[in-house]
């Protein structure tokens, strides 16, 4: 039953509290160019990183991409050889690797993330893992034909030769005459 009487307790000790509102926040996106490739084709894998937090980040770097599914050889990069010393709020960076395909079909899944340190709190920060797929397709079937004219031709006359090439595949081909 509530009697309406006020009851007082003894004093309590004050405890200092440190409030950290937010820190550096790294967001990332993985980009593969082209997303569809053929055999022995170079593929660029890029990790775009942005600091969307309220504090700067320091020593930001990209972890080497992990890939599953096979069909790749070699990797050059990243384009940043060391960590980014200071990434202010709103700043972005692009890390890049180059791979070469060695398969005529399949899918390769890439994943990586960015890692750094909050410049104010000193706490470690990481982006979520960014992932993207590369589809490797068989070389395109090319069909070519040649026409020449005029027909008949006389000695000393000009002859025009035309070579046409059609790509009946699903991937682009570099055709060199």
Res 82: pLDDT: 66
Dihedral of the alpha carbons of 6, 8, 12, 16, in degrees to the nearest 10: 20
What one-character-per-residue DSSP string does 84-96 give?
EEEE-TT-EEEEE
| pLDDT at residue 80, rounded to an integer | 56
In 3D, which of 72, 76, 77 has the Cα closest to residue 41? 72
* 47-82 tens-digit pLDDT: 999 999 999 999 999 998 988 887 777 666 556 556
Total-model pTM: 0.70
Q: Report whether 25 contacts 50 (CB < 8 A).
A: no
Locate 120 and state its tokens. 């104010």
Kindly report the average pLDDT of the chain as a whole number.
Answer: 86
The residues facing 96 across adjacent strands are 46
pLDDT of residue 169: 78
Q: Tens digit of pLDDT for each residue in 95-127?
A: 998 888 888 888 999 999 999 999 999 999 999
Q: Please, which contacts does 124-129 make with residues 24 or more away whose CB atoms are closer than 8 Å?
A: 125/23, 125/24, 125/25, 125/26, 125/53, 125/57, 126/26, 127/26, 127/27, 127/28, 127/49, 128/27, 128/28
């Amino acid at each position: 039953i509530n009697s309406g009487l006020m009851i007082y307790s003894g004093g309590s000790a004050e405890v200092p509290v440190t409030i950290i509102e937010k820190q550096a926040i790294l967001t990332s996106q993985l980009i593969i160019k082209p997303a569809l490739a053929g055999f022995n084709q170079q593929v660029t894998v890029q990790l775009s990183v942005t600091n969307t937090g309220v504090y700067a980040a320091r020593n930001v770097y990209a972890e080497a991409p992990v890939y599953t599914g096979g069909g790749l050889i070699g990797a050059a990069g990243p384009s940043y050889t060391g960590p980014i010393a200071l990434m202010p709020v709103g700043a972005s960076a692009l890390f890049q690797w180059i791979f070469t395909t060695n398969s005529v079909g399949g899918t390769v899944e890439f994943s990586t993330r960015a890692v750094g340190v909050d410049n104010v709190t000193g706490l470690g920060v990481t982006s979520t893992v960014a992932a993207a797929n590369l589809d490797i397709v068989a070389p395109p079937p090319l069909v070519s034909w040649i026409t020449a004219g005029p027909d008949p031709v006389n000695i000393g006359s000009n002859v025009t030769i035309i070579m046409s090439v059609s790509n009946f595949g699903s991937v682009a081909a570099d055709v060199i005459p």
